[in-house]
Structure 1
Amino acid sequence: MAGETEGRRHGLIIGAASAGTVFEWYDFYLYGSLAGFITTHFFSGVNETTGYIFALLAFAAGFAVRPFGALVFGRLGDLWGRKNTFLVTMLLMGLSTFAVGLLPDYKTIGVAAPIALIVMRLVQGLALGGEYGGAATYVAEHAPDGKRGLYTSWIQTTATLGLFLSLIVIIAVRTQLGEDAFKAWGWRIPFLVSLALLLVSLWIRLKLNESPIFQKMVDEGTTSKRPLTEALGTWSNLKLVILALVGLTAGQAVVWYTGQFYALFFLEKMLRVDGVLTNELVAMALLIGTPFFVVFGWLSDKIGRKPIILAGCLLAVFTYFPIFKALTVAANPALASATATSPVTVVADPADCAFQFDPVGKKAFVSSCDIAKSALAGAGVSYLNKAAPAGTPAQVLVGDAVVPGLDGKAIPKAELADAKKAWTKDLTGVLADHGYPAKADPAKIDKVKVVGLLFLLVLYVTMVYGPVAAALVEMFPARIRYTSMSLPYHIGNGWFGGFLPTTAFAMVAATGNIYFGLWYPIVVAAVTVVIGALFVKEMRGAPIDG
């Protein structure tokens, strides 16, 4: 009976502490999955390419401030206690997520709309900076010896639960309302639903007591009076913070975001798979893969945290390119075939080609090169770049066909839109003649293979993410643990991971190669493998009460 009571108590501790990460990833995937709708409603004052990049930047803004939230709330967690701090962070996260569903759009209040959206993202990012460190520390400080990896790995499953919940809500709302209503206003409903999740999570967390290790420090008067100074102002601890970032969390973050977000983005944006079907395929892979968070957390109690995390990063380095190329063949075989048999090349004077990002929406991209690349990007077609002599108008080569470029500079402004539309229609016709599909054909998608490949990406995620909470907790002393572990985690996941979608998309847009963005996570993961293997000390089973 005592054992059952203890088990229920530990279950409540894990569930309540993990509730915040459900929020974290619920909002994260809502925003990521609905980025196209957010672009339409909040960034409609600029061109489409700029608007999408802006939407991704607003998405990344929440991640940019997470390290600052780690400093603010990490300090409070080491001063006030674990429970009190993550009650505050959960309340801020929940209200800012809910508020996005109520914000007026660009047509209603103009530039104030994207500003308000970014403010909500910043508030949520600050709160998130204190959420994860508190949850991981709280659970680890309750875990029995030898089960720290197992207990904290349950927190990692809730990240996928948040994603899974967001996908279910999005699919249900889109199905019930239809695409037109969902695009017009229904996209707001998933954000508004988060209020119910907030109320239930707060109710559960209010039932918790303080961490026994922190309570003991309070009773003995050994809590830190200056956690920021102790954590970051002394080289011995700052060195551990840096190693935790470069040797663990940076690689963990890019593998996580590639496997659970960029793959979704790649299927829908690059391979032109229907949005609802994309969500369903990703959800299926996550459903299969989620138990492995616990498997690898448990295994890390047996063989160590570092070997599993670094193995996941290493597998990503060597297999990302073949996995994503296989995804193309399985999800859009017509596109893969057309790309192989009739490659597209933009032949243009490099001086005629601009990086199509216009922050103020005033610049017109009217050169023959810009018009060609914009049309190809809109069609989701990968292309090569070939330099032409200076002053030469751009050409688009589709296999053996040549499509002369359209020089918008020579066309009156009033006629340019119609001219671009007619030219794009001609290009689309040539692409279609050479087998390039407008969208992926659902009947030809090898759904089993797609889910299998997505599961493989998720498996890497479980390897790097399952053991990382225990690894970070064990690296730092109890009196400054909340601050010390929160900072490298949120720099890794907030900056290295959070900026991955924007960075990878910009890399693809600049080169025309739909796989080029993968170099970003591959390089970061490779650095983590080297630094982690050489300099990070394995701390499995180390005492955490000192």
Structure 2
Amino acid sequence: MTREEKKVILASSAGTIFEWYDFYLYGSLAAIIGAQFFTAFPEATRNVFALLAFAAGFLVRPFGALVFGSLGDLVGRKYTFLMTIMIMGLSTFIVGMLPGYASWGIAAPILLVGLRMLQGLALGGEYGGAAVYVAEHAPAGRRGYYTAFIQTTATLGLLLSLIVILVVQSYINGHYPMQPVLDLSGNPVLLADGTPQMITAFNAWGWRIPFLGSIILLGISLYIRMQMEESPAFKKMKDEGRASKAPMREAFGNWKNGRIALIALFGLTAGQAVVWYSGQFYALFFVQNVVKVDSFSANVFIAWALILGTGGFLLFGGLSDRIGRKPIILAGCLLAALTYFPVFKGITRTANPALYAAQMVPVQVTAAPGDCSFQFNPTGTAKFTSSCDVAKAALARAAVNYQTVEGTGPATVTVGAVRIASYDAGALPAADLAAEKARFDGALTGALGEAGYPLGAGNTTVAKAQHFFDIFTAQKLTLIAILTYLILLVTMVYGPIAAALVEMFPTRIRYSGLSLPYHIGNGWFGGLLPATAFAISAQTGNIYAGLWYAITVAVMTVIVGLIFVPNNTHKRDIFAHDR
């Protein structure tokens, strides 16, 4: 690389890493933030809401692609960069200052979702600009390798967010005492034995520090971006008077270019997106909330997997310069579809052997057909209070695999040979509800404990890291190896994708053309994956059933990509490609 090329990659990558860091802070802290902003809802529903708030940022990314893609093709790549980073940085900083539900009530989660949407709009304009800017500076035959540096920024941003969280979490919890959980009236929440429910200082308030500290990174990134020059391809096109006056209409208003966008979406980015989010975000959520590894240890294991696997972006990006983008991306999608079930079962078996063994015990929910609801409630208006819903929610929290069979009357849970009657939370007076809940929870906990489910702090088989370098046991290294495999699949599908998309569109509409299919694929197919997978698993009673969503989309991309995506784009002259 020349000095100028290194400068281009550094300037593009540094700002993009910061934007991904901002965006991923929420994903990494979703469970903690859910407890702060969705306090009014039951725990199972709260987890779905927290993931949906995370997904809200992805839902608006295609709109950000439309707005900033047009600006990038009209006024240039550099100034669009500056706008997106300002919006992202300020939104993240404000999240750190936003009061929780206990202080502001329903306004708190509404504002949180609004800030997430602003982040999504900014990110919708960021990625396409970075990919185009680097590709238009790269020499022929090296676009895959050069743009792969941009592809590393998403994972490096996640890694940076995890490291910052781990450092802050270790310091805060080591220097500040546990704090009581407060209800909406400001009073301590009491456990069954009358003692206050306690949480760590980091969970109470320390989680805000990584958000507030991002203002420093914003200043650094703005300074770096101000040093950038405009893309030579864009300047040449403007000087020759060939710039598009209506890039959106030109990119998507005719079948010739619209067809390319559809092929890019269904034949490349949709499958890439579900593999990416399965390997990073859903894997982290699965390890924490399903396998019951504590959040600190889960972040340590994911961070090591990212460190070990990130080089795959450059490896597969460079390889795509020689054999093409298509075979590498589709191979990654196919491998994911074929291996996800054994891999995620391997995560459970390795990280929590006692839980994996207990899941062999047959558990059954017997309920009347109309008593069970689909417990996915994005609006927060439904109340899951039937005896069937109460039973399923309790089993989902304990990561229990179960079957649902048709019966009559109130729902019952059968664990091995023990049968436990559930209760209808909506039909009981307040005076009786607490007693019924205590009876059911106690009986279910006892039955699951007898069946071998590790429900308490006495589970010594679960993987646990005391500090960042506490990984050198067979169990922890095996878990990190499995997670690294998932990251390598991510690098296969994501490493070559920027170059593939850049090569499919001419300069005059390139920013707009690639941004929309990329962000629909990653924002909608990928961003909704954690919430969708969680809801599917809760509904079916199988903690692995949610993987069918990712597998189905990945297989669709393999089929569409094999038929419609060309394999020779890596040989194109992207300047001669203008038309």
Bin for the TM-score computed over the shorter chain: over 0.9
Q: Please tell me whether the aligned partners of residues 296 and 466 of structure 1 are also in contact (alpha carbons under 8 angstroms).
A: yes
1:336 aligns with 2:356: yes
Do 2:503 and 2:570's aligned partners in 1 also have CA atoms closer than 8 Å? yes
- The answer to whether the Cα contact below 8 Å between 2:131 and 2:150 also exists between their aligned partners in 1 is yes
Amino acid at match of 1:248: L
Distance 2:435 2:377 in 1: 22
CA distance in 2, matches of 1:540, 1:467: 10
Question: Which residue of structure 2 aligns with residue 397 of structure 1?
Answer: 414
- Runs (4+) of structure 1 exceeding 6 A deviation are none
Q: Shift in Å at residue 78 of structure 1?
A: 0.4
- In structure 1, the partner of 2:37 is 42
| Cα shift at 1:15 | 1.6
Report the residue type matching 2:401 in the other structure. S
CA deviation string 1:442-477 (max 9, x = no partner): 655311111111111111000000000000000000
Alignment-derived partner of residue 467 in structure 1: 496
Q: Which residue of 1 aligns with 2:445?
A: 428
Secondary structure of the residue aligned to 1:475 is coil
* Cα pair distance change 1:345/1:24, threshold 3 Å: farther
Gap regions ≥5 residues in structure 1: 1-5
Tell me, yes or no, if structure 1 residue 78 matches structure 2 residue 108. Answer: no
1:135 deviation in Å?
A: 0.1
SS at match of 1:101: helix
Query: In structure 2, which of residues 205, 230, 235 is the aligned counterpart of residue 185 of structure 1?
Result: 205
| Aligned 8 A contact 1:29 1:261 in 2 | no
Distance 1:104 1:452, change over 3 A: same
| Equivalent residue, structure 2, for 1:256 | 276
| Shift in Å, 1:364 | 4.6
Q: Once the 2 structures are TM-superposed, how far is the Cα of residue 62 of structure 1 from its aligned partner?
A: 1.0
8 Å contact kept, 2:376–2:535: no
1:540 paired to 2:570: yes
Q: CA deviation at 1:343?
A: 2.1
How far does residue 402 in structure 1 lie from its aligned partner after superposition? Answer: 2.0
1:166 counterpart residue number: 161
Q: 1:373 corresponds to which residue?
A: 392
Larger deviation: 17-26 or 354-363? Answer: 354-363
* Preserved CA contact (<8 Å) 2:23 2:119: no
Q: Give deviations 1:471-517, integer Å, cap 9, x for gaps.
A: 00000001100000000000000000011111111111211210010
- 1:541 CA displacement: 2.3
Matches within 5 A, 1:404-483: 404-408=421-425, 411-438=428-455, 441=459, 443-445=461-463, 446-483=475-512
What is the distance in 2 between the residues matched to 1:478 and 1:364?
Answer: 52
CA contact (8 A) 2:261 2:517 kept: yes
Tell me, in whole angstroms, the C-alpha distance in 1 between the residues paired with 2:113 and 2:150.
Answer: 27
Partner of 2:541: 512
Per-residue CA deviation, residues 304-361 of structure 1 (Å, 9 max, x unaligned), is 0000000000001110001111111101111111111x12111111211123355676
Alignment partner of 2:227: what SS? coil
1:155 paired with 2:163, answer no
SS where residue 570 of structure 2 aligns?
A: coil
**What residue is the counterpart of 1:528 in the other structure?**
557
Judging changes above 3 Å, is the alpha-carbon distance between structure 1 residues 72 and 392 closer, same or farther for their aligned structure 2 residues? same
Q: TM-score, normalised by structure 1?
A: 0.96
- Does the C-alpha gap of structure 1 residues 217 and 33 become closer, same or farther in structure 2, counting only changes over 3 Å? same
Match of 1:198 among 196, 218, 222: 218
Q: Structure 1 residues 395, 206: CA separation in 2 closer, same or farther (over 3 Å shift)?
A: same
Moved more, 13-22 or 304-313: 13-22
Matched residues in 1 for 2:530 and 2:314: separation? 27
Per-residue deviation, residues 212-271 of structure 1 (Å, max 9, x unmatched): 100101111111111111101111000000000000000000000000110111111111
Mean alpha-carbon deviation: is it higher for 295-304 or for 426-435? 426-435
Partner of 2:194: none
More moved, 482-491 vs 184-193: 184-193
CA distance in 2, matches of 1:7, 1:17: 16
Q: Does 1:284 find its partner at 2:310? A: no
Aligned-partner SS, 2:137: coil
Deviates more, 1:186-195 or 1:26-35: 26-35
Contact residue 354 and residue 461 of structure 2 kept, 8 A:
no
Q: Which amino acid in 2 is paired with 1:217? A: M
**Higher mean C-alpha displacement, 85-94 vs 240-249:** 85-94
The answer on whether the counterparts of 2:279 and 2:487 sit within 8 Å (CA) in structure 1 is: yes
Please say if residues 46 and 360 of structure 1, whose CA atoms lie closer than 8 Å, have aligned partners that are also in contact: no
The size of the alignment, in residue pairs, is 538
Asked if the contact 1:271–1:439 (Cα under 8 Å) also holds between the matched residues in 2, the reply is no
Query: In the alignment, which residue of structure 2 is the partner of 1:3?
Result: none
Counterpart-to-counterpart distance in 1, 2:573 and 2:268 = 20
Moved more, 6-15 or 303-312: 6-15
Contact 1:272 1:439 in 2 (8 A): no
Could you tell me how far apart the structure 1 residues matched to 2:381 and 2:140 are? Answer: 61
Change (3 A) 1:78 1:352: same
Which structure's residues are more often helix, by fraction? 1
Deviations 1:199-221 (A, max 9, x none): 11111111111111001011111
Distance 2:215 2:3 in 1: 27
Distance 1:350 1:25, change over 3 A: farther
Deviates further, 401-410 or 10-19: 401-410
- Which piece of structure 1 moves more, 362-371 or 90-99? 362-371
Give 1:117-156 correspondences, 5 Å limit: 117-156=112-151
Structure 2-normalised TM-score? 0.90
Q: In structure 2, what is the Cα distance between the partners aligned to 1:245 and 1:9?
A: 33
Alignment of 1:98 onto 2:93: yes
Offset of 1:28 from its aligned partner?
3.4
Q: Residues 442, 163 of structure 1: CA spacing in aligned structure 2 closer, same or farther, 3 A cutoff?
A: farther
